[in-house]
Amino acid sequence: MTDNKARTDLFSPARLGALDLSNRIVMAPLTRSRATDDGLVGDLQATYYAQRASAGLIIAEATNISMQGRGYALTPGIWTDEQVAGWKKVTDAVHAEGGKIVSQLWHVGRYSHNDLQPNGQAPVAPSAIKAEGDTYTNDGMVPVAMPRALETDEIPGIVADYVRAAENAKRAGFDGIEVHSANCYLLDQFIRDSTNKRTDRYGGSIENRTRLTQEVVEAVLGVWDAGSVGIRLSPASTSAGNTPLDSDVMATYGHLIRQLNRFNLAYLHTVEGVTGGARQMPEGIDLDVLRAEFKGAYIGNNGYDLDLAIARRAESKINAVAFGRPFIANPDLVERLRNGVPLTDAPRETYYGGGEAGLTDWPKLAA
């Protein structure tokens, strides 16, 4: 391992689009459910992210673009001035430590509940197909609700919400944004023919089903330069209510990735396998083939350890690597990986909810 680390450039400066990074270790977005019920973050999150600013890039926890976009209680938003002010504390703290941070823009679509929606309305989705599973509300865990299908004339409003969120992310001092088109949430629900049964210009063909993701990306590029915008995809993930895969993953996501190339984005961030689960691919799916379709930088995510990251970097299969859960209990993860220090495992009960305990009280290595 020592020889391998000596030969790898994972710990060397890198550039993804317009983002200059101190190393190729990325902190993946981690929902921690410690925002207020109004979607506000503040001093607590500023401390948390600043502690992890030695990552080459922090992708902040998934952040709701609107009240309609919420799928879980106590998750942050970026649609109000108060939310922007809270995030400004976070970005200032990260920058003071020499770090870089981008905002991941999120709409959960059907994976929500009426109690989380404005005026108790039904969640929205490409089609009125109920997801499996439970979600977290102020009254605890409840089954996700039956969604309603978005009307065609409502979709420009969804795109406008992404644009407003992108503008607010810039006001909040982020270094860029990541469009969350993964994990079976709204944009991914439009992409997959298992969750999209529409007959309008957003349904049916691959070209139609991938249209909304492209429209969102093109719209936010009116706010941010392309070199500061990334996108997250998860072609093989069945998370968020055991959503089925698309019937032709390679054709659908291959088309989408080729279309994304025209935007010259900073990076493609891909969940390799099932989010938080196995890396094994179903028969007929080869994410390395899809990766090769993308002409920009590529961030690999899911189940990585240092050995795997070094190996895939040596084979030019990643430009950077995203670690998620290891960052929870190891705020100085980059130094621990560089020096071969054993990592601390965070108990699952510390992942979501609460205050400082399990969030900001993990010690760094002694100097």
* 93 within 8 A of 174, measured Cβ to Cβ: no
Q: Does the annotation mark 185 as catalytic?
A: yes
- Residue type, position 60, single letter: A
- CB count, 10 Å around CB of 303? 16
Candidates 185, 202, 253, 304; catalytic one: 185
- Residues forming a β-bridge with 179: 105, 231
Contact 16, 267 (CB under 8 A): yes
Interacting residues of 198 by C-beta distance below 8 A, sequence separation 6+? 126, 127, 149, 204, 208
Length, in residues, of the chain: 367
d(CA 299, CA 322): 7
Q: What end-to-end distance do the CA atoms of the chain give, in Å?
A: 23
Give the span between the Cα atoms of 88 and 97, in whole angstroms.
Answer: 14
DSSP string of 163-207, one letter each residue: HHHHHHHHHTT-SEEEEE--TTSHHHHHH-TTT----STTSSSHH
The secondary element (H helix, E strand) that includes residue 20 is strand 19-21
* Angle (deg, nearest 10), helices 155-171 and 81-96: 40
Q: Cβ(10)–Cβ(23) under 8 Å? A: yes
Instruction: Find the farthest-apart pair of alpha carbons in the chain and give their distance in angstroms, rounded.
Output: 61
Residues 204 and 261 sit within 8 Å (Cβ to Cβ): no
What is the identity of the amino acid at 333? L
Give which of 162, 344, 188 is closest to 275, Cα–Cα.
188
Token pair, residue 10, equals 């994972």
Residues known to be catalytic: 185
